[in-house]
Amino acid sequence: MNQPTPEQPADVVARLRATFRSGRTKPVEWRTGQLSRLREMLTTYGAALAAALHADLGKSSTEAFRTEIDFVVREIDHTLEHLEEWLRPEPAPVPAHLGADATGWTRYDALGVVLVIAPWNYPAQLLLAPMLGALAAGNAVVVKPSEMAPATSAELARLLPRYLDTDAVAVVEGGIPETTALLAERFDHIFYTGNGTVGRIVMTAAARHLTPVTLELGGKSPAFVDRGADLTVVAERLARGKFLNAGQTCVAPDYVLTDPETARALEPVLTEAVEKLYGADASTSAEYGRIINERHFDRLSGLLDSGRIVVGGGTDRATKYIAPTVLADVDPDAPVMREEIFGPVLPIVTVPGLDEAIDFINDRDKPLALYAFTESDTTRERLAAETSSGGLGLGLPLAHLTVSDLPFGGVGESGMGNYHGRYSIETFSHRKAVLEKPLS
Ligand code: NAD
């Protein structure tokens, strides 16, 4: 039997644009209806999605629900609760020279057809969270899941059309050729999550059509540990944040920055924290994930001799397992410090004190997150004021991105634009200025 010819990108976009032009996506009831359907999909097929995430990344079901499925459900609920309030026109004071009867306000207009390109590390969350923001803002959306997480991509391509309005939401699966073909089309906004190299390709393609972009990129997020911090708490939180999803988290603490004395004291407590989380042999823990593919496994294995192994170091290529690993005595120029690690390797780098730590951070690309563990108000304030990063986590890694009322995004090399909650509405809308002066 002949396979049906897949719809060409130009036809997909034209079809969605026609729906947008028809006005169907604009009423708030359509938007909330789509979000409710998405919620139903996630609650009905959560287990199927979790199985796909396990197949792609060895993600445990607990982790799949916590960091992907339930995460998106929470974001939907928050949006459903506040959408009307977020969309409300905002009155603006009008200057006296326009007369007392003149009024001004801003209104949120949907943009049109949005393209969302997702990565493989949280392949469900990072596709669905921007998509639901774009729908809530009244747009039609083309979503492109990552081909590197094929089970999740296939599951999303199977489920989304069953639940959502297929004239307004299209799933296009594929890798570089399919994405390149999509990028040739004109979109009204492109939302890309992934690495900076492809981010530049996306932005170049978008420039041809003067399409605005949101780039959610990565980088090396430092974790500064101050003298006198409670190291048992610090180690437990660092290990949880770092080794979640086997370290393949864009906001994972990339490396620890601390003074030599604290570095030494951290070694045994980090070892304890890792063993408490995953046992003495993480390869037997159901909670510990695997590396996405052989290419990344080989890249990460090559970083293990960048320092002295404090804990971990074990690998198994057949199962793409890399043990949660802490490296000490790491030279700032070692290979592990030259690229975003994006895996379960935590180097400890030492600096004499806070001044040098601030210089160390500012000498490098602006990170997606900066974490600091300190009891000192002055240190917190100095780090906040004297460095630049997408987000700042004081005392707890990763958690800022779970707060729907906080904007999530990078700065400089870690990206541009942000989303979550009302910030998604800002991203996927045009804020239109309206001035009215009655004729009589
Ligand atoms: P990836 O390889 O899955 O790529 C992301 C998307 O880009 C995929 O859909 C892929 O098909 C597409 N793509 C790849 N090459 C392309 C090309 N030449 N032309 C057009 N499209 C192309 O994901 P990745 O980049 O390996 O993801 C890891 C990076 O993403 C890390 O740097 C990480 O920090 C970052 N990240 C950032 C966030 C965030 O929210 N800021 C979240 C997750 C990951």
- In this predicted model, what pLDDT tens digit does every residue of 368-414 receive, in sequence order? 999 999 999 999 999 999 999 999 999 999 999 999 999 999 999 99
DSSP H helical segments within 166-315, as ranges? 176-183, 196-208, 231-243, 260-278, 294-301
The preferred substitution site among 68, 126, 179 for testing ligand 1, maximizing ligand atoms within 8 Å of CB, is: 179
For residue 404, the CA-to-ligand 1 centroid distance in Å is 23
Q: How far is the CA of 371 from the centre of ligand 1 (A)?
A: 23
Nearest atom in ligand 1 to 180's CA: 20
Strands 415-416 and 213-216: antiparallel
The reported pLDDT for the residue numbered 347 is: 98
For the chain, give the mean pLDDT.
Answer: 97
In angstroms, how far is CA 248 from the centroid of its own chain? 11
pTM of the shown model: 0.96
Task: Tell me, in angstroms, the distance from the centre of ligand 1 to residue 153's CA.
Answer: 14
Which pLDDT band holds residue 4 (cuts at 50, 70, 90)? Answer: low
Look at residues 355, 352, 308, 307 and name the one whose alpha carbon lies nearest to residue 331: 307
What pLDDT is stored for residue 124 in this prediction? 98
Nearest CA to ligand 1 atom 41: 216
Atom of ligand 1 nearest to the CA of 117: 9
Residue 239 CA to ligand 1 center (angstroms) comes to 24
pLDDT digits (tens, 9 = 90+) for 219-262: 999 999 999 999 999 999 999 999 999 999 999 999 999 999 99
The sign one gets for the Cα dihedral 188, 75, 127, 303 is: positive
83 Cα: distance to centroid of ligand 1 (angstroms): 29
**Ligand 1 pocket mutation pick from 217, 220, 365 by most atoms within 8 angstroms of CB:** 217
Q: For the chain, give the number of residues.
A: 440
Ligand 1 centre distance from Cα of residue 198 (Å): 7
Q: Which residues of 157-191 are buried (b: 16+ CB within 10 A; e: fewer)?
A: eebbeebbbeebbbbbbbeeeebeebbebebbbbb
Q: Which amino acid is at 352?
A: P
Nearest CA to ligand 1 atom 1: 119
| Percentage with pLDDT > 70 across the chain | 99
The Cα-based distances of 231 to 70, 262, 373, 417 in angstroms read: 31, 8, 9, 34
Rounded to whole angstroms, how far apart are CA atoms 130 and 39?
Answer: 14
In this prediction, residue 6 has a pLDDT band, given cuts at 50, 70 and 90, of confident
Q: How far apart are CA 118 and CA 121, in angstroms?
A: 9
Instruction: Give the per-residue pLDDT at 3.
Output: 63
**What is the predicted pLDDT for the residue at 206?**
98
Pick from 116, 121, 245 the residue to mutate for probing ligand 1's pocket: most ligand atoms within 8 Å of its CB.
121
Q: Mind listing the pLDDT tens digit for each residue in 10-24?
A: 999 999 999 999 999
Active-site option among 75, 155, 216, 340: 216
Q: At what angle do helices 28-57 and 150-163 cross, to 10 degrees?
A: 160
Which residues line the pocket of ligand 1, CB cutoff 6 A? 117-121, 126, 144, 146-148, 175-176, 179-180, 193-195, 198, 201, 216-218, 250, 340, 342, 368, 410, 415
pLDDT at 264 over 90: yes
To test ligand 1's pocket by mutation, which of 115, 146, 255, 365 has the most ligand atoms within 8 angstroms of CB? 146
**Cα pseudo-dihedral 429, 430, 431, 434, rounded to 10:** -130
User: Which numbered atom of ligand 1 lies nearest the CA of 174?
Assistant: 11
Residue 356 neighbours by CB under 8 Å, 6+ apart: none
Q: What local confidence, expressed as pLDDT, does residue 157 receive? A: 98
Tokens of 43: 């609650």
**How far is it, in rounded angstroms, from Cα 216 to Cα 195?**
8
CA-to-CA distance for 160 and 172, rounded, in angstroms? 11
Q: Verify whether residue 216 is a known catalytic residue.
A: yes
Predicted-complex ipTM score: 0.93
Map residue 298 onto helix, strand or coil.
helix
Per the annotation, the verdict on 275 as an active-site residue is no
- Kindly state the tokens that stand for 6: 């897949």
For atom 3 of ligand 1, the residue with the nearest CA is: 119
Mean pLDDT over residues 271-290, rounded? 96
Instruction: Give per-residue pLDDT as tens, 163-220.
Output: 999 999 999 999 999 999 999 999 999 999 999 999 999 999 999 999 999 999 999 9
175 C-alpha to ligand 1 centroid (Å): 11
Closest CA to 226 of 197, 252, 265, 187: 265
Give the distance from CA 236 to its chain's centroid: 23
**Is-contact 368 217, C-beta < 8 A?**
yes
* pLDDT, mean of residues 100-116: 98
The residue contributing the CA closest to ligand 1 atom 17 is 176
Q: Which atom of ligand 1 is nearest to the CA of 202?
A: 20
Measured distance CA(5)–CA(9) in Å, rounded: 12
Q: Who contacts 354 (Cβ-Cβ below 8 Å, separation ≥6)?
A: 224, 226, 379, 382, 383
Which band of pLDDT confidence, cut at 50, 70 and 90, is reported for residue 48?
A: very high
Taking the CA of residue 201 as reference, the ligand 1 atom at the shortest distance is 19
Burial class of 85 by CB neighbour count within 10 A (0 to 12, 13 to 18, 19+): exposed
Atom 43 of ligand 1, nearest CA residue: 250
**C-alpha 299 – ligand 1 centre gap (Å):** 16
Q: What is the 3-state secondary structure (H, E, C) of 69-96?
A: HHHHHHHHHHHHHHHHHHHCCEEECCCH
User: Which pair of structure tokens corresponds to residue 98?
Assistant: 């326009």
